[in-house]
Amino acid sequence: MGSVQRAMRLLESVAEHEHGAPAKQLARETGLALPTAYHLLRTLVHEGYLRRDKGLFFLGEAAERLSSSGAEQKRRSTVVEALAHWRDLIGVPVYYAQYRNGEIEILCVSDSPGNPAVEEWADFRETGHAHAIGQCLLAQLDDEARRDHLDRYPVQSITPYTVRDGHSLLRRLERTARMEPVTERQEYALGTVCAAIPITLGNAAATMAISLPAHQADRLLAATQQLQEEIGRLMGTLAISISI
């Protein structure tokens, strides 16, 4: 344990020196005997946590990967906390999704026993035409990307309320006003209504969405408007975090 603590102190000391630092300076800053510092520094270089160049020590690739991973986890935690807050505030399951590399990806879902998320009974990626999340993401794509997606995942009726064919879906998407919420009622799952709010994320298509039991459909509009307002309040904080 003592060796680990001393090694961590050395890593922290090196991280404070953008242009590198020699072993003697690092030993002095960490209060370590020079032979001990040399031994730990060599071990950290061997393991890739540090690198040595012209007698100076810098953070290595392994340490940078840890830093990058930690930053990513922090961004994800920000999104998870926001969705949990909105779930409790509005009393609905909340979803976050993006369109990445030609696929619909649901990246985070926050629900509760009293307000469970929609069960993925048919692959969300293949049925984007049927649910609000997919329709919202497809509406944000250009015409070529939208048609490419539907060529790979053709429209098919999965409930009696699902849009019947690709032409009907394209007409619907073309009529969708930019940055306006998209709603669907029992098109993906019987007994469920959903709404998805488009999110501006550079050139990427993203959305926050909610779902409700069909017998609570009268709450959908108000809940969607409330989520829109909440997203607007936190958008500055989430601008980087939602790129998870």
Dump pLDDT digits (tens) for 60-112. 888 777 655 444 555 567 788 899 999 999 999 999 999 999 999 999 999 99
The predicted model scores a pTM of 0.69
Residue type, 30: T
Residue (of 142, 144, 139) closest to 131 by Cα position:
139
Give the alpha-carbon dihedral of 58, 59, 61, 62, to 10 degrees.
140
Name the residue with higher pLDDT: 18 or 201.
Answer: 18
Name the residue with higher pLDDT: 151 or 2.
Answer: 151
Asked if the model's pLDDT at residue 242 lies above 70, the reply is no
Asked if the model's pLDDT at residue 231 lies above 50, the reply is yes
Measure the CA–CA gap between 229 and 194, rounded to whole angstroms.
17
Residue type, 162: T
Q: Would you state the pLDDT for residue 2? A: 64
Those residues with Cβ within 8 angstroms of residue 194's Cβ, 6 or more apart along the chain or in another chain:
118, 131, 132, 133, 183, 184, 185, 188, 209, 210, 211, 212
Q: Would you state the pLDDT for residue 67? A: 59
Those residues with Cβ within 8 angstroms of residue 28's Cβ, 6 or more apart along the chain or in another chain:
none
Residue (of 39, 45, 41) closest to 60 by Cα position:
45
Question: pLDDT above 90 covers what percent of the chain?
Answer: 61
Q: Would you state the pLDDT for residue 70? A: 47
Those residues with Cβ within 8 angstroms of residue 130's Cβ, 6 or more apart along the chain or in another chain:
122, 158, 159, 162, 163, 184, 187, 188
- 8 Å CB contact between 60 and 27: no
Mean pLDDT for the chain overall: 88
The residue-averaged pLDDT of 126-130 equals: 97
The residue-averaged pLDDT of 195-208 equals: 87
Cβ count near 209 (within 10 Å):
28
- 8 Å CB contact between 199 and 179: no
Q: Would you state the pLDDT for residue 241? A: 46
The SS3 call for residue 193 is: strand
Q: Which of 15-19, 56-60, 198-202, 227-231 has the lowest mean pLDDT?
A: 198-202
Q: Would you state the pLDDT for residue 78? A: 76
Query: pLDDT-based confidence at 145, cuts 50/70/90?
Result: very high
The residue-averaged pLDDT of 133-139 equals: 96
Helix-helix angle 23-30:34-46, to 10 degrees: 110
Q: Would you state the pLDDT for residue 83? A: 93
Q: Would you state the pLDDT for residue 1? A: 45
Measure the CA–CA gap between 158 and 31, rounded to whole angstroms.
68
> Tens digit of pLDDT for each residue in 152-171?
999 999 999 999 999 999 99
Q: Would you state the pLDDT for residue 240? A: 41
